[in-house]
Structure 1
Amino acid sequence: MASREQFSSKFGFIMAAAGSAIGLGNIWGFPTQTASNGGAAFVVVYFAMAFCLAYPALMAELIIGRHSKSNILTALRGIAPTKATRRIGSGVGMYGVIIASLILSFYGIVAGWMLAYLAESITNMLGWSEASEWLTNFGNTRNIITMGIFMVLTMSIISSGISSGIEKWSTRLMPMLMVILFALIAYVMTQDGAMNGLKIYLVPDFSQLKPSLILDAMGQAFFSLSLGVGTMLVYGSYLSDKESLPKLGVMVTLVDSGTAFVAGLLIIPAIYVAREHGTNIFTDSGELIAGPDLIFQVLPALFDSMGEIGIFVAFAFFTLMSIASLTSSISMLEVPVSLAVEETPASRRQATWIIGTLIFGCSTVILFNFDQLFGFVISLTTVYSQPMLGLMLCVFAGWIWHRDSLLKEIKSGHPEIEGTFFWKIWPNYVKFVCPILVLVTLIQSVAA
């Protein structure tokens, strides 16, 4: 077996891990949840939960991944001391691979919509009205073509490997994403209505501080770091033993939660600018429009109302969304590909294109049965399966893996860690507190 690839730099890993975490949910989900949950009050609770729940769970994945230097299935099987726990590890690992693949199957559809609207901003610039109309009509032909293009981009990056594929493109795309994000914020802030949105977003309403807000913040923090399905475990497996995992984990958590917050500085003011231009921004129940309707109805209406400059703003915005889609999708595809490369005779290129094509086929089935399958797959994967898998990974790190091996792996790359707060708190925290917090999130998700 050839020597295993690694990230060539700390910056490359942070960009790849942050790219995995910073996806469409962060950019449209976090801001609207914040605005609907007391503004800055939600932000404060979210940041607390990011470090009380998401960071410790992230560390469990990174530590298991680097120790095993393998895919999620082999990793969990490898740290299990008995035949029974090895079987459980294999089952949890395989379920994680399946769930990551299913997430990508619906994510690819939504990312295809982003590419369609990005292309539409270009056809608008060129005055190709018929092409623009085709690109914005929800039809299976358009959806399959744009989703196929997106999947080819994802597969091309993954097939190139870790340093030449994932790291190379993450270190290019993530800085580009941040430049576009800040440029759009600067522009939107000059528009009428932006300050109203900024006030909603940043001024805390502590009367909203109730159990449901805390649980929403906990769930958002957990999901925003793409935990549970093994993406961070696999990325951790490509890290050098010389790197300090606790420090890298803090950096990734800060970049992810910080970017989610910055995205809110764009999305919420933009929604209120759209309102200023006559666009309805509330649902019938009085809540802010969120999710796909926000991205494909409210904001395009805003761009249309801006005149000629709106075309360029739309181009920048959908470029931003497409980059966020791509950096997340490559981490999802890496989960099944890493398993196939390490457990079968297939080369990385063969495994990538075979698995990517199978996921494309799964996406096509969802498209042709959209009303029945799209929402079902999202709920199955993100609402139920991700927290359950996150719970199991915490159990493996805290209860099943031999404690001495766990502590030895934490010390690798950080020999002076024994005197730190992390060393004293984290091993017991991930054993007792994390499973309870994740279980509460899971129960809340099921009960909702």
Structure 2
Amino acid sequence: MAQLRDGFQSRLGFVLAAAGAAVGLGNIWGFPTQAANHGGGAFLLVYFIVIFLLALPALYTELYLGHQAQSNPVKALKQAWQEQSPKVGATAGYIGLFGAIIMLSFYSIVAGWMLAFSLEPIMTLLGFDEIAAFLKGDSTLRNFIFTPMMLLLTASIILQGVKSGIEAWSRRLMPLLLILLVALIAYMATLEGASEGFKAYLVPDFSKVTDPDLVIAAMGQAFFSLSLGVGCMMIYGSYLKPNENLPKLTASVALLDTGVAFLAGLLIIPAIFVAQQSGVEVFHEGKLIGEGRLIFAVLPELFANMGQIGLFVGLTFFVLMSIASLTSTISSTEIPVSFLVENHGMKRGSATLWVTLVILFASSLIILNFEWMFGLVISLFTQYQLPLMGLFYFITVGWMWQRGNKLLEASSGFHYYFAQYVRFVCPVLMTAVFVNVALK
């Protein structure tokens, strides 16, 4: 059965796809905001440390579960819990499956906003001012146009399978994302006020490094930016060939994802200082104003102040954000699609259609009840499901999965010490993240 599954045909294709799954709005939108609100350079330093201490083992653990099982998260976790309670493992897999649907229901809405904002400069250049105002506005109609549009883009790639769809498009989208990101950084560096932003971002204030809020924020951001805890990496790990060098590939994915987050900071934080220099209100009571206003108000206002060149900068920026959104929606959609194909014998086309319709229904419920439902769904998913599922993966590999678990079977060497680290240290760190977030 395993040999009939589609899979990645090259290591580069896997690294770009897995990094694409991790690279999303959390990197380009969330990371710079966290850095700006938690000491800039101090946050960056701590972030790099916790990537190594927590996020890298978590990434390896999730990839390892999928790689060993060569199946989707429901089957993989059921198999890992076979000796204790298969139902517990399967239930956790279903929770991850449900979480992927929930994540896609709100993520597709935000991704649709990015798509709308990327079209706005084009409409402005063409003189269609009413359409441009509609694209920048906040309306239910706009959501019902661009959310399905993003879902259709995602479905068109998923329909083509792993090799021809996910891998092929990741090879195109990820290099384009990096080129656009570097080009924007280079341009932003030429503007007045950018140098102050670079200094704030790159020069750490060591007195802030031990701030508990900063440390916990860095741990949470490191975990969430790698898209851990929902099964994306587990399903991608299952598409790897059995003899692949998983530690090396894990390090490559983490390095690329962290690199994109670092570059995003090099873009957004100097842009914040440039905007401030231009008279745009950026900080309120010492804190960067809300993430939504940063992306959809502060930066567009900055682009508008640049004149004609601002239209091209705005277009490039929101195309970048749209690509980051798409690479993440692809990986999350593959989770339920692979489940329907492998566990229920559906054809990929039918599975993709049903998953897309379910996500559209869930997104529509959020759009129609936006005021109270949007924030609630995001909070439940990011603050509770992700850290709890990450903790569950550590417990599964470190304590419950016995037979066939190469980490625990190793009696010496790197695998032995890494297994002990996963068993004892990682659950404590993950619990600390969860408790801190839950108490806020």
Question: Which TM bucket (shorter chain)?
Answer: over 0.9
Q: CA deviation at 1:353?
A: 1.2
Name the stretch that deviates more: 53-62 or 31-40.
31-40
Q: Which of residues 424, 428, 431 in structure 2 aligns to 1:436?
A: 428
What CA distance in whole angstroms lies between the structure 1 residues aligned with 2:341 and 2:381? Answer: 24
Corresponding position of 1:226: 227
User: CA offsets, 1:366-390, max 9 Å, x none?
Assistant: 0110111101000111111100011
User: CA offsets, 1:255-301, max 9 Å, x none?
Assistant: 11111011100000111111111111112x22112411111000000
1:225-374 alignment to 2 at 5 Å? 225-283=226-284, 285-374=285-374
Could you tell me whether the CA contact under 8 Å between 2:78 and 2:89 is conserved in 1? yes
Could you tell me whether the CA contact under 8 Å between 1:194 and 1:272 is conserved in 2? yes
Structure 1 residues 318 and 410, CA gap change in structure 2 (3 angstroms): farther
Q: CA deviation at 1:408?
A: 7.1
Structure 1 residues 153 and 410, CA gap change in structure 2 (3 angstroms): farther
* TM-score, length basis structure 1: 0.95
Equivalent position SS for 2:294: helix
Structure 2 residue 72 is the aligned partner of structure 1 residue 89: no
User: CA offsets, 1:113-165, max 9 Å, x none?
Assistant: 00110110110111110110111111111111011100000111111100111
Amino acid at match of 2:432: V
What CA distance in whole angstroms lies between the structure 2 residues aligned with 1:410 and 1:192? Answer: 58
Corresponding position of 1:375: 375
Equivalent position SS for 1:405: coil
Corresponding position of 1:150: 150
Q: CA deviation at 1:419?
A: 8.0
Could you tell me whether the CA contact under 8 Å between 1:38 and 1:206 is conserved in 2? no
Unaligned runs of 5+ in 2: none
Could you tell me whether the CA contact under 8 Å between 1:29 and 1:290 is conserved in 2? no
Corresponding position of 1:415: none
User: CA offsets, 1:177-217, max 9 Å, x none?
Assistant: 00000000000000011111111111111222211111111
User: CA offsets, 1:21-48, max 9 Å, x none?
Assistant: 1100111211121122122111111111
Q: CA deviation at 1:397?
A: 0.8
Unaligned runs of 5+ in 1: 412-417
What CA distance in whole angstroms lies between the structure 2 residues aligned with 1:447 and 1:270? Answer: 32
Structure 1 residues 252 and 68, CA gap change in structure 2 (3 angstroms): same
Amino acid at match of 1:30: F
Structure 2 residue 200 is the aligned partner of structure 1 residue 200: yes
Could you tell me whether the CA contact under 8 Å between 2:99 and 2:230 is conserved in 1? yes
Amino acid at match of 2:330: I
1:61-100 alignment to 2 at 5 Å? 61-82=62-83, 85-100=85-100
Q: CA deviation at 1:420?
A: 5.7
Amino acid at match of 1:445: V
Structure 2 residue 404 is the aligned partner of structure 1 residue 405: yes
Q: CA deviation at 1:394?
A: 1.0
Equivalent position SS for 2:357: helix
Amino acid at match of 1:405: G
4+ residue runs of structure 1 moved beyond 6 angstroms?
Answer: 408-411
Percent of counterpart pairs with the same letter? 49
What CA distance in whole angstroms lies between the structure 2 residues aligned with 1:391 and 1:65? Answer: 16
Could you tell me whether the CA contact under 8 Å between 1:38 and 1:205 is conserved in 2? yes
Corresponding position of 1:414: none
1:55-66 alignment to 2 at 5 Å? 55-66=56-67
Corresponding position of 2:172: 172
What CA distance in whole angstroms lies between the structure 2 residues aligned with 1:199 and 1:408? Answer: 43
What CA distance in whole angstroms lies between the structure 2 residues aligned with 1:62 and 1:266? Answer: 30
What CA distance in whole angstroms lies between the structure 1 residues aligned with 2:208 and 2:419? Answer: 33
What CA distance in whole angstroms lies between the structure 2 residues aligned with 1:184 and 1:21? Answer: 21
User: CA offsets, 1:60-110, max 9 Å, x none?
Assistant: 11111011111101101112233x521100110000000111011100000
Amino acid at match of 1:220: Q
Amino acid at match of 2:431: L
Corresponding position of 1:181: 181
Corresponding position of 2:32: 31
What CA distance in whole angstroms lies between the structure 1 residues aligned with 2:229 and 2:272? Answer: 32
Amino acid at match of 1:70: S
What CA distance in whole angstroms lies between the structure 2 residues aligned with 1:409 and 1:333? Answer: 32
Q: CA deviation at 1:409?
A: 10
Could you tell me whether the CA contact under 8 Å between 1:116 and 1:136 is conserved in 2? yes
User: CA offsets, 1:226-245, max 9 Å, x none?
Assistant: 10111100000000122110
Corresponding position of 1:215: 216
Could you tell me whether the CA contact under 8 Å between 1:341 and 1:347 is conserved in 2? yes
